[in-house]
Structure 1
Amino acid sequence: MDPMTETLEEVESICPDCLKEGKVAKIDAQILEENGKIWIKKECQEHGEFKSIYFGDPVLYGRWMKYKVQGDGVENAEIEGGWLEDLPKLYPKHNSQTVLSNLMVTNRCNLRCSYCFMNAGAAGYVYEPSLEELEKMMRQVREERPVPNKAIQITGGEPTVRDDLIEIVELAEEMGFTHIQVNTNGIKLAEDADYCRKLREAGVNTIYMSFDGMSKDANPWIEQNKKAVENLREAELGVVLVPVPIKGSNLHELGDIIRYAADNVDIVRGVNFQPIAFCGRPENVPEENRTKRRVDYALLMEALEEDLGGQIKKEDFYPVPFVHPISKLMENLKGEKQVEFTPNPGCGGATYAFVQEGELVPITRFIDVEGLMDLIRKQSEKSGMFKKARIATSLAKNIMDYVDLDKAPEDLDIKDLIVNALLRGDYGSLGKFHLKSLFIGSMWFQDPWNLNLERLKNCVIHYTTPDGIVPFCAYNGLGIGGKIRERYSMPIEEWEEKTGKKLKEDLWKGGPIS
C-alpha cells in the first residue's frame, strides 16, 4: 500500500458490475485516506477494483464520524420481511427506526429531467397503487414498534399528476401521520394557487420542491418555481427547496439559491441539497461521467462558503445523529420510546442560519452547540426521584453558558425556546425558531459505486412498498425499488387503455422539457 494511504475502516459493499448482471454480491471494502481525501475502495474477484470519492475532506469526515450511534431498530421486524431476496444476503436486521417514510404514489411525471431514472416514460410501465393499496403501505409504517412512524413524504414520479392526491393526503392524516410533505417539481403549484390551499387544508405541512438553480441553464423551470413559492406564500404552506448539485452544471449557483431562500425566509423553511447519485441503470453510467459530475459533502460546502463569502462554513454543519441526545432526553422525561435519529453520519448533515440585516448568521456563531448537546446528553442520563425537576433546574441554570447573547438574534428568546421544547414538549415554540431561521442541509444518497453497508443498515428514511419497508439507498441504489415497481405495474399501453388517458398528456405544455 502507498505510504500516503491509510485504511480508516474495514466495511462491506457491493460490486457495481455484478449488479449490472442482475446479481447483488457482497464484497469487502475499505474507507481510505489518500492524498488529502477519503475514498471507498473495493475489489470483486470477478470484476476487479472500484474506487470512489467518499469525503473530500478528512477533517470533516473525522468530525462527523465521531457522532456515530447505534439505533435500536424495530421490535416487530417481520414487517421488514418483504425486502425481496437481496437484502437478507447483505445483512440480517436493520438497526434504525423509520424517521421519514417515502410513499411512492406514481411513476408518472409531467417533466423529463436529465438525471431522473424513475419516470414511466423511461421505465416503460406505469406504477400507480390504488388508494386501498396505499392505505396498506401507510399502515405498515404506522404499525412499527416501539415507535409508530409519524412523518411521511408523498413522492413519485410527480405526485400532483394523480387526480386523487388530496384524498391520499387526507388518508395519511386520518391514519395519524403528524408530518406530511409532498415531493414535487412545483409545476402544478405554479399553475394553480387554489390547489396549494387545498393541499394545506387536506393536511400537508411542507412542500419539498425541486430547485436546481437560479438560471434557466441550470433550472429550466425557475420561473415556475418562483411562481410556486408565491402561491405557497398565499396558501401559508411552507416549502423546502431541493437542489441536486452536479459538478459542471450548477455548483456556481448554490449560493444564489441560499440567497433566494433567505430573501423568502417567511415561507421558505430550508434548502436541502441532494448531490447527484448514480442510481437506476448502472450500465448507463460510465466512470468518466461519474468523476466529472460527482459532488461530495466537502465540495458542496466549499462551493457554498466561497459563493457566500464565508457566511456559511463547513464547520457550521453537523451530521444528523448529532441531535440523538435530544431523543434520549425526551425518553427520560416522558418514560416512553421516542423516534431516534440514528443514521450513519455520512447520510447527511445540516445547520440553521438566521437572516440579520441581509447577512446569514449560522446558529453555531452564537451557540456552542457541542457544549449544549453534551449538557442535554448528561440530563438524559439522570434517574431517580424528582428527575424532571432536577433536569429542569440544571437546564435553566446552565443553558445560557452556551449562548453568546451579543451575537444572537435580538428577538429570539433562546432560553425560553429550549426550556419549552425540551421540558414541556411544546413544539409550537419551535415554530418561532423555524419562522426566523433557514435550514440548510445536505443528504448524499448512496449508489452502487460508493455504497457502504454499515450506512445502509442504519438508514432512517424508508420506502413503504407493497413488498415491505425498504431503506432508501437499497430502494434506489440497489435497484430494489425498480423490481418492486415493475412487479406491481402495468405496461403503458394497458394503462392507457384502462384509464382512457395518454401518458404523453402528462407532459407540461408550458416550456422546455430537459
Structure 2
Amino acid sequence: MSDKVRPYLYYDVALALCSRCLRKVEGKILFADGRVILEKRCPEHGRERVLVADDVEYYKRSREVFIKPPEQPNHNQTPIRYGCPYDCGLCPDHEQHSCLALIEVTDACNLKCPVCYAESGPHRPDFRPLELIERMMDALVASETQPDVVQISGGEPTLHPHFFEILEAARARPIKHLMVNTNGLKIAEDREFVRRMAEHKQNFEIYLQFDSFRREALMELRGADLRRIRRKALEHLNEFGISTTLVVTLKKGLNDDEVGEIIRFALEQPCVRGVTFQPVQAAGRLEDFDPATDRLTLTEVRRAIYEQSGVFRAEDVVPVPCHPDCLAMAYALKLGGRVLPLTGMIDPQILIEGGSNTIVFEQDPGLRQALFRAFSTNHSPESGAASLRELLCCLPTVQVPDGFGYANVFRVLVVQFMDAYSMDIRSVKKSCIHIVHPDGRLIPFDTYNLFYRDGREQHWKPRLADPWAERGRLPLLQTHGGVA
C-alpha cells in the first residue's frame, strides 16, 4: 500500500458535538479494521475518535436499506432558531414523531444507581403534582392524537403518592400502550400494590430493571444486590399475569456476557413479553469513561443476542426502521414450549412500509396488514382474520394453539442512546424516543440529558442568543461523560 493511501475508508461527513464544550463540530464516518469510527475535531479541544459500531456491513445496511419515510407529529412546539440539537421541542426540522414517550413523574428514588442518567435518588424527594402530569399527558396527546407507547418513569414512579391516579389519568386518554419503568422494589415488597396494578393490565406493561444474575455487577450498576428483589418482583408479576419487559443496562466487560442467559431466563417467565438491552449511556453519574475503549455498541449487543441465546440467528436481529442507527429488534413466537424467531422471515420492505411504530409492531394495525400479506395465502385483513393464530396457520411447521395472543409474543430490543461522544446530528433528527418536558415540549431522550434536564438551558441558551458570542460555542462545562 502506498504511504499516500490512508488506512481507512471514508464513508460520510458527520455533524457531531465536542464532548467537552458541546459545540457543534464537523466530523467524518470512517471504516477501519471492520469498525465504524466517528472522527471529529473541536477547534479548542482537538480531535476525538469514537467507536460507533464494530460491524461495517450491518451499519451500512441500517443506513441504506432500512430507510423509513418520516412521520411527523401533529404540530411542533418550538421554532428553528439555533439549529439541532439546540431547538428541541420538537422543532419542524425533526424527522420522526414519538414512537415512545416518557413522562417522568418524580425525581425521588429508593436507589442511587451509579449509572442513573437522571441522577435520581433519596436526596431528591420531589413528586410532580398530578395536575402537572396530566398537562404533560395532554401535551403528548395534542402532538400524537393517539400516542403509541407512553412510559411512566422517574425517579421511581411507584413511590408517587398518586401513582394509581396517574394510571387512571393515562387510561382516560387515548394512549394505546402504557408502561411503568420501575426498579421493582415496591413490586417485590407489596403484593397488594401489584394486585391493584393488575386492575389496569389491559394494554399495560411493566418495564422492570433486570441487569444481571451476579452480585458484583448489580453493585456496580445499581449500588445494591437486587437479586432477591428481582426474583420476588417476577413472582408477583407472574402471579397476577402482568405483562413485563426485562430491561438490562449493559456495561462492557461487566455483564455483556449474560445476554443469552437473560433471554433464556425471560422465556421461562409466563409474564415476560421480552427483553430490552440498553448499553450504558455516558450521562448522569458515569465517570472514567473512555469512548475509544469502554463503549459497548449496538452491533456488539446484537452479536451477543444471536451468539449467546441459542434462539435467534443473525438475520433475526434487524434495524428498527424509524431509527435504525440506534434501535434493533428481534421478534419471536412462544408456541407450546418452542420459540419461533419471526423477524428473519419478514422482508425488510414490510417493516419499512407496514406501520407507524415498529418498536411494538404487534400493536400496529398497518404492520399487521403487511404481515397478512407476507405469511398468509388464504386470508386478507378484510376477511376478519384478526389474530396471529389465523395469520400463521399457513406456516406448515407451526402448530398454533387455541387462545394464542399477546402472551405468545416475545421481543428483544437493543436501544442505544447517543451521548456527547457519539452524538450524530443526522441521527438525532430521527430519534423517536422522547421525554415530555414539564412545559409540554417533546425532547429526544439523547439531547434531553445533555441540554434540557434540570434547567440546563438557562446556562447555555443565553450564550447562543448573544450575537457577540463565538458562533456555535457553548460555555465550557466540567463534565463526566459530557454532562455537567
Do they fold alike, i.e. is TM over 0.5? yes
Inter-partner Cα distance in structure 1 for 2:169 and 2:80: 25
Contact in 2 for aligned 1:83/1:469 (Cα 8 Å): no
Deviations 1:216-269 (A, max 9, x none): 2323212211111110112221100000111121112111101110111x2100
- RMSD, matched Cα: 3.5
**CA distance in 2 between partners of 1:193 and 1:486 (Å):** 43
Q: Aligned match of 1:58 in 48, 56, 59? A: 56
Which residues of 2 match residues 346-385 of structure 1 at below 5 A? 346-355=325-334, 360-364=339-343, 367-370=345-348
Could you say which residue in structure 2 is the equivalent of 1:303? 304
Question: Bigger CA drift: 205-214 or 73-82?
Answer: 73-82
Alignment of 1:84-483 (within 5 A): 87-88=86-87, 93-121=93-121, 125-144=124-143, 147-202=145-200, 205-219=204-218, 220-264=225-269, 266-280=270-284, 285-288=287-290, 290-309=291-310, 311-321=311-321, 342-343=322-323, 345-355=324-334, 360-364=339-343, 367-370=345-348, 399-400=375-376, 412-415=389-392, 432-467=404-439, 468-476=441-449, 478-483=450-455
Greater share of helix = 1
The verdict on how the C-alpha distance between 1:82 and 1:102 changes in structure 2, with shifts beyond 3 A counting, is: farther
Deviation at 1:7, TM superposition (A): 2.0
Q: 1:434-482 deviations in whole A, cap 9, x for unaligned?
A: 3223211100000000011111111111111123221111112x23123
What is the distance in 2 between the residues matched to 1:228 and 1:485?
A: 38
- Paired residues of 2:107 and 2:120 also in contact (CA < 8 A): yes
Q: Which residue does 1:328 correspond to in 2? A: none
CA distance in 2, matches of 1:208, 1:395: 27
Instruction: Write the distance in 1 (CA, Å) between the matches of 2:177 and 2:24.
Output: 36
Structure 1 residues 92 and 40 mapped into 2: Cα distance closer, same or farther (>3 Å)? Answer: farther
Structure 2, unmatched stretches of 5+, are: 219-224, 356-367, 379-387, 396-400, 460-484
Contact 2:331-2:412 at 8 Å conserved across structures:
yes
Question: How far off its partner does 1:93 sit?
Answer: 2.2
Question: Offset of 1:72 from its aligned partner?
Answer: 3.6
d(CA) in 2 for partners of 1:75, 1:356: 39
Measured after TM superposition, the shift of residue 59 of structure 1 is 1.4
Opposite residue 312 of structure 1, the aligned amino acid is: F
* Secondary structure, aligned partner of 1:274: strand
Seen in structure 2, the aligned counterparts of structure 1 residues 92 and 32 have a Cα distance that, compared at 3 Å, is farther
Q: Measure, in 2, the Cα distance between the counterparts of 1:105 and 1:148.
A: 20
Give distance in 1, aligned partners of 2:81 and 2:125. 21
For the residue of structure 2 that corresponds to 1:18, the secondary structure is coil
Q: How far off its partner does 1:280 sit?
A: 2.7
Q: 1:113 to 1:292 in 2, by over 3 A?
A: farther
- Partners of 1:279 and 1:479 within 8 A in 2: no
| TM-score normalised by the chain length of structure 2 | 0.77
- Tell me the distance in 2 between the aligned counterparts of 1:361 and 1:397: 19
Change (3 A) 1:455 1:114: same
Mapped contact 1:475–1:482 kept (Cα < 8 A): no
Change (3 A) 1:372 1:458: closer
Distance 1:106 1:89 in 2: 22
In the alignment, structure 1 residue 16 sits paired with structure 2 residue 19: yes
Is the 2:35–2:56 contact (alpha carbons within 8 Å) kept by the matching residues of 1?
yes
